[in-house]
Structure 1
Amino acid sequence: MSSIRTYLAVDLGATSGRTILASYDGNKVDMRELTRFKHPMIPLGGHLFWDLPYLYNEIVKAITMTVKEGIKIESIGIDSWGCDFAFFGKDGELLGLPYCYRDPHTDGAIERYMKMHDKREIYEMTGIQFMEFNSLFQLDTMRHNGCSALADADKILFIPDALTFMLTGKAICEYTVASTSQLLDPNTRDLDKSLLKSIGLQREQFGEMTEPGTVVGPLTKQLQEVTGLGPEVNVVAIASHDTASAVAAVPAKDANFAYLSCGTWSLMGIESPHPIITDESYKQNFTNEGGIEGTTRFLKNICGLWLFEQCRPEFKDVPEDIVELTALCETTRFASIINPDDPSFAHPASMTKAIDDYCEKTGQIAPRTPAEYIRCIYKSLAHRYTAIIELLRQMSPVEIKCLHVIGGGSKNRHLMQFTADALQMPVICGPTEGTALGNVLMQIKAQGLVNSLPDMRKIVAHSVELTEYHPNN
């Protein structure tokens, strides 16, 4: 293929969003950021929401920019975080703002739901890690609280599907993001009607189950007029859960690897040809989420750089530059270790105080300086990664010989070296924009220009420069 094709990737994270233009020449992908925007949680009436119309407008703005700049795009793909969803009425209008998964209204939701249901049975049905923000528990909480938007909802669409609906008018339920909900049966590859019934919902309220790499369709006629984009450009259902897209972009040469998607969240796991639903996976609360080409992402959700992101505004008299700031951890030998997954770190009023309180509760010295907080966070994450890798080794069908790290956290050389030292195995970092690259690769696949996951990973290897870290001790 001699011509260069251009794609628009919309990559929405829990703290920021970006649109990326990607050019594919048949061998490698080159990406450049088109727009970037902050994506804060909206506190309103004692709850936390997402501003979905704002995200929609940012996407429309980016599409319009491509037209005005004379850039011919082939298609558009949207990825986002999982579990959250939006409600739409019979007229197709958005009903209120979507709740944010960090909203505390689901505190105690698992315990309440399990009073009427068997926890092990739910895990056998879904293979999903129990977390209070899973869609199952969010929806049950809203039903319990008499949420009017839920009561009036004709359609319930996960965030990337909601935005796809707002752009195209077509309601889908993309498989990888649906798999995060704890409503999907990985064996039937569809939402489980009995689980939906248990929270008063019907299968018809969700979109048509759609595999990643499926062409959805063009923008609505009204949006075509607004943006100037023609009907020949389609929105594609990529692997719309951000981690699924990121894992698709892991430049692995064989199956003997674990992966870490490192950002606000740390998601650590393996790629399996089938769900792993065992006594041990249930006991350790591991999750089975959908991947591409029928694969399963067997993983554990770990609190990631959220700890650092929440501490940073509390630091005084520190460098503004992120590289200089993180380098402060070299100036101390501070040794206290926290559990990043402790519930006290989920949504504290002050993250530094939460760390102080945890250290005091566990008989350790609390950090006193920004350098000590940063080192404490990074060392604690590396310590947690080691524990998860050991559990993965016990359950993995393949030997784990290296860790591939993707996402923005892969640029953090201190965290990556701490991780290599703790794991005592190679840590291979890149791509940093793994989610966006996976997004683009699925758009390319939807056009029939690449045939398989191994071929996609060869494109990744041609497209990015990787950094390797080896244990120092």
Structure 2
Amino acid sequence: MSNSPSFAAVDLGASSGRVILGKISNEKIEYQEVHRFGNGPFERGDGLYWDIDSLKDNVMQGLAKLANSNILSIGVDSWAVDYGLIDKNGRLLRAPHHYRDERNTRGVEIANQKISQEDLYAQVGLQFLPFNTLYQLSVDQAEQSDLLNQSDKALLIPDLFNYWLCGTRLSERTNASTTGLLNPTSKNWNKGLIQSLGLQERLLAEIVNEGTYIGQITTEVQQLTGLNPKTQVVTVGSHDTASAFVAVPSTKPNSLFISSGTWSLLGVELEKPVLTEAARKANFTNEGGVDGRIRFLKNVTGLWLLQECIREWQATGGIHQIEPLISEARSIPKKSVIDVNDPRFISPGEMSSRIKQACRESGQQAPNTEAETVRVIIDSLVAKYMEVIGELEELTKLKLERIHVVGGGSQNELLNQLLADASGLEVFAGPVEATAVGNLLVQARAAGVISGSLEQMRGLVSRNFAIKAYSPQVTGEN
């Protein structure tokens, strides 16, 4: 790698995490993954949790590998909605609940007794998802109020890691926008809503923008990692999708962005939120993006179904690699389509059986082989994408002209080609590590290493990555 200034991106996903070394200049983006580790839920008697201690240990191990890299700063991004409760002494009082925990349904019931879905959307513009932070806090307030009373702050996952790194208790805006407690116009906490829900405003930390220096690493972190004690911690687009959108290699209007991973987030960037009743009924969300943009998008189940099936099949003792299965699925004709957002698919375990049952219940042919199951999943994702594209064009009055797919799903050639065929639009795939790249770019701009607008950063991405294009093919039924 070059001698350009160095930065560390901590990118925590729902199924894996990584620490990445990046070197950025006005002409070049270089990055190297230095540490990768698994992530996922673990169950104990009272619910589903994240193994936060393992995540923390792995982050420190990854940063220790950068001890001699002279990094200027560290930025952390992760999935949304989940939080850790810390007391005044900084002690974590409970492992963060996993967003797939069944307790969230009780939180929905509690919140719905205090505010209607119509009024809630008009105030926060957030897609209804039963695991949104406001529902998690509602069930905690109802069932574990003593724990909340002991807490000083409820820190979203990247904010929790920032606290561990530098000791500052703050909330970065893009991830705060996913809580269901932020005013999308003022971009501050909606105090009236928080009070009407019976939640404790004091638990929510002060909001700062991405690109804010929040402190140097603590003495403990310096001793654990060997990093320079002057290494800074800087906020990035800490919701991983916000960082991923930074690295979409597009400077043209009317582009659909898809961040494709465990979840698929499909949307466009707008200057102002869309808070209409039609948007609520279509279940679209207004989330904060870098540079004050609004990410108007829909969150749909993505590669989670495929990941769970692979995990299930591997547990049987066989060797199941996704690439050969997708290759085999390419030659299988389209037979059945399921609703990937069906609530039955939220929880882990026995995914292939649930897919088969969904097919039978809808009068369709159930898959008999693993490759057939893969084909059902991919065809179903394309069908959901097309549904969302139609809704998005109707709600925004935009005519989409191209599709950009970033993240792990950008490597799924069958999914990308079938999407191009179904939409009639060219699909551009990559970069795979868009989230980490976006994280690094925001750090580099904060350091003054690069400058310019979001579009200029995206132009830098387009000049540094090989983007694969998929053109629509008219081949009859796929």
Q: TM-score range by the shorter chain?
A: over 0.9
Q: Deviations over 1:156-191 (max 9, x none)?
A: 110000110011110111000000000100112111
Shift in alpha-carbon separation, 1:59–1:348, aligned structure 2, 3 A: closer
Residue in 2 aligned with 1:409? 409
CA shift, 1:319, in A, is 5.4
Structure 2 runs not aligned, ≥5 long: none
| Rounded Cα–Cα distance in structure 2 between residues aligned with 1:73 and 1:26 | 17
Letter aligned with residue 422 of structure 1 = A
Contact 2:256/2:402, CA 8 A, preserved across alignment: yes
Residue in 1 aligned with 2:222? 224
CA shift, 1:108, in A, is 4.6
* 2:274 aligned to which of 267, 273, 276: 276
Residues 410-425 of structure 1 aligned to structure 2 (within 5 Å): 410-425=410-425
Alignment pair present for 1:391 and 2:408: no
Letter aligned with residue 32 of structure 2 = R
Contact 1:270/1:396, CA 8 A, preserved across alignment: no
| Rounded Cα–Cα distance in structure 2 between residues aligned with 1:355 and 1:388 | 21
When the two structures are superposed, what TM-score results if normalisation uses the length of structure 2?
0.95
Residue in 2 aligned with 1:433? 433
Residues 247-266 of structure 1 aligned to structure 2 (within 5 Å): 247-266=245-264
Alignment pair present for 1:193 and 2:191: yes
Residues 341-420 of structure 1 aligned to structure 2 (within 5 Å): 341-347=341-347, 349-396=349-396, 398-420=398-420
| Rounded Cα–Cα distance in structure 2 between residues aligned with 1:231 and 1:398 | 49
Letter aligned with residue 126 of structure 2 = I
Contact 1:73/1:233, CA 8 A, preserved across alignment: yes
Contact 2:9/2:439, CA 8 A, preserved across alignment: yes
Contact 2:336/2:376, CA 8 A, preserved across alignment: yes
CA shift, 1:400, in A, is 1.2
| Rounded Cα–Cα distance in structure 2 between residues aligned with 1:351 and 1:3 | 47
Question: What secondary structure sits across from 1:74 in the alignment?
Answer: strand
* 2:177 aligned to which of 172, 176, 179: 179
* 2:286 aligned to which of 288, 298, 310: 288
CA shift, 1:228, in A, is 2.5
Contact 2:9/2:75, CA 8 A, preserved across alignment: yes
Residue in 1 aligned with 2:464? 463
What is the number of residues matched between the two proteins?
470
When the two structures are superposed, what TM-score results if normalisation uses the length of structure 1?
0.96
Shift in alpha-carbon separation, 1:204–1:142, aligned structure 2, 3 A: closer
Question: What secondary structure sits across from 2:290 in the alignment?
Answer: coil
Contact 2:185/2:272, CA 8 A, preserved across alignment: no
Q: Deviations over 1:279-327 (max 9, x none)?
A: 2101101000000111000000100010111111333687533311221
Residue in 1 aligned with 2:94? 96
Q: Which stretch has the larger CA shift, 415-424 or 54-63?
A: 54-63
CA shift, 1:45, in A, is 1.2
Contact 1:319/1:325, CA 8 A, preserved across alignment: no
| Rounded Cα–Cα distance in structure 2 between residues aligned with 1:162 and 1:200 | 24
| Rounded Cα–Cα distance in structure 2 between residues aligned with 1:125 and 1:249 | 30
Q: Deviations over 1:356-381 (max 9, x none)?
A: 11111111111111111000000010
Question: What secondary structure sits across from 1:77 in the alignment?
Answer: strand
Contact 2:249/2:458, CA 8 A, preserved across alignment: yes
Residue in 2 aligned with 1:332? 332
CA shift, 1:232, in A, is 2.4
CA shift, 1:150, in A, is 2.3
Contact 2:141/2:199, CA 8 A, preserved across alignment: no
Contact 2:191/2:201, CA 8 A, preserved across alignment: yes
| Rounded Cα–Cα distance in structure 2 between residues aligned with 1:323 and 1:66 | 32
CA shift, 1:445, in A, is 1.2
Residue in 1 aligned with 2:455? 454
Question: What secondary structure sits across from 2:472 in the alignment?
Answer: coil
Letter aligned with residue 84 of structure 1 = D
Contact 1:78/1:439, CA 8 A, preserved across alignment: yes
Q: Deviations over 1:225-244 (max 9, x none)?
A: 33222232101100000000
Contact 2:138/2:199, CA 8 A, preserved across alignment: no
Q: Deviations over 1:110-129 (max 9, x none)?
A: 24321221221110110000
CA shift, 1:134, in A, is 0.1
Contact 2:43/2:49, CA 8 A, preserved across alignment: yes
| Rounded Cα–Cα distance in structure 2 between residues aligned with 1:28 and 1:397 | 36
CA RMSD of aligned residues (A): 1.6
Question: What secondary structure sits across from 1:92 in the alignment?
Answer: coil
| Rounded Cα–Cα distance in structure 1 between residues aligned with 2:166 and 2:383 | 45
Contact 2:260/2:410, CA 8 A, preserved across alignment: yes
| Rounded Cα–Cα distance in structure 2 between residues aligned with 1:317 and 1:218 | 47
Residues 53-72 of structure 1 aligned to structure 2 (within 5 Å): 53-67=53-67, 70-72=68-70
Question: What secondary structure sits across from 2:92 in the alignment?
Answer: coil
| Rounded Cα–Cα distance in structure 2 between residues aligned with 1:147 and 1:326 | 48
Shift in alpha-carbon separation, 1:59–1:42, aligned structure 2, 3 A: same
Q: How many percent identity over aligned positions?
A: 38
Residue in 2 aligned with 1:20? 20
Alignment pair present for 1:141 and 2:139: yes
Q: Deviations over 1:171-227 (max 9, x none)?
A: 111000000000100112111112222343333322221101111111112322332
* 2:105 aligned to which of 80, 104, 107: 107
